[in-house]
């Protein structure tokens, strides 16, 4: 029985208590959930104060020979075996896929990151999963933008370092337009992590023409600004 299931008489399933199902009225269940969320929030805040560095799921403790799973509702660390961790990750992946599928099945909302909520101009889109939008105020939007900026900067530096390492090990670098004998694909460039990008002749021509057109437009803009 899933917590929150509503019975025919209107009562809501809360939990198993000593092997017996505990059913509450809607008001009792809602009050119980409010108290539970407050308690969980306090426990998590206390955990954050006690721990200097946050743990990630899968962190290994050599002394315990166990893996970190998460934080319980009482703010305590949960450690389990490798077998349990593998099952836990598979279950989480399945739930995530099901959730994303449900989000894509929702009606389409033509909103992008940073757009205002049509029903509330004080709220903005700070995250999207499929067709589902998550909203927040200006402060949350600003924090999200800064978080994304840091994430993209770290990703760029990581890929740049990786590309420099790979390119440094290449003795003879390929030139654009080189043709591969086995399939007649044409070399276009090294991508952002240093891997070779080969394209079919028709795709190569489209990308090359698009690049030249953009270059001409930029040249015209520069000449017009002088």
Does residue 166 surpass a pLDDT of 90? no
Mean pLDDT computed over 166-189: 90
Name every residue whose Cβ is closer than 8 Å to that of residue 124 and which is 6 or more positions away in sequence: 114, 115, 116, 117, 135, 136, 137, 138, 140, 141
- Position 177 confidence tier, pLDDT thresholds 50, 70, 90: very high
Q: What are the sequence ranges of the domains in the chain?
A: 1-54, 170-225
Length of the chain: 226
Q: What is the pLDDT of residue 46?
A: 79
Q: Kindly state the percentage of the chain with pLDDT values over 90.
A: 52
Q: What is the pLDDT of residue 74?
A: 75
| Inter-residue contact 130 to 104 (CB < 8 Å) | yes
Q: What is the pLDDT of residue 122?
A: 93
Q: What is the pTM of this model?
A: 0.55
Calpha distance 182→133 (Å, rounded) = 47
Structure tokens at 25: 């009225």
| Alpha-carbon separation of residue 16 from 29, 107, 108, 209 (angstroms) | 14, 36, 39, 67
- 108-145 confidence digits (pLDDT tens): 888 999 999 999 999 999 999 999 999 999 999 999 99
Does residue 53 surpass a pLDDT of 70? no
| Inter-residue contact 138 to 120 (CB < 8 Å) | no
**Which range, 37-41, 133-137, 193-197, has the best average confidence (pLDDT)?**
133-137
Mean pLDDT over each residue of the chain, to the nearest integer: 89
- 59-118 confidence digits (pLDDT tens): 998 888 999 998 887 778 889 999 999 999 999 999 999 999 999 999 988 899 999 999
Does residue 214 surpass a pLDDT of 90? yes
Among residues 76, 52, 77, which one has the least CA distance to residue 67? 77
Q: What is the pLDDT of residue 52?
A: 56
Residue 7 burial (10 A CB sphere; 0-12, 13-18, 19+): exposed
- Three-point CA angle 89, 95, 101, nearest 5°: 135
Q: What is the pLDDT of residue 51?
A: 64
| Alpha-carbon separation of residue 149 from 114, 115, 144, 222 (angstroms) | 14, 18, 9, 28
Does residue 202 surpass a pLDDT of 90? yes
């Amino acid at each position: 029985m899933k917590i929150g299931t509503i019975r025919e008489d209107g009562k809501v399933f809360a939990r198993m208590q000593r092997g017996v199902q505990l059913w509450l009225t809607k008001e009792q269940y809602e009050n119980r959930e409010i108290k539970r969320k407050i308690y969980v929030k306090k426990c998590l805040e206390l955990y954050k104060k006690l721990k200097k560095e946050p743990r990630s799921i899968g962190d290994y403790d050599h002394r315990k020979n166990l893996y970190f799973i998460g934080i319980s509702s009482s703010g305590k660390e949960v450690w389990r075996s490798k077998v349990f961790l593998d099952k836990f990750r598979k279950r989480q992946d399945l739930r995530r896929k099901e959730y994303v599928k449900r989000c894509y099945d929702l009606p389409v909302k033509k909103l992008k990151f940073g757009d205002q909520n049509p029903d509330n101009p004080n709220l903005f889109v700070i995250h999207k999963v499929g067709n589902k939008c998550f909203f927040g105020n200006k402060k949350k939007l600003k924090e999200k933008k800064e978080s994304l900026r840091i994430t993209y900067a770290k990703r760029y530096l990581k890929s740049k370092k990786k590309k420099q390492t790979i390119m440094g090990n290449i003795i003879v670098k390929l030139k654009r337009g080189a043709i591969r004998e086995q399939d007649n694909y044409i070399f276009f460039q090294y991508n952002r992590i240093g891997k070779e990008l080969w394209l079919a002749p028709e795709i190569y021509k489209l990308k090359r023409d698009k690049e030249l057109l953009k270059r001409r437009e930029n040249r015209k803009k520069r000449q017009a600004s002088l």
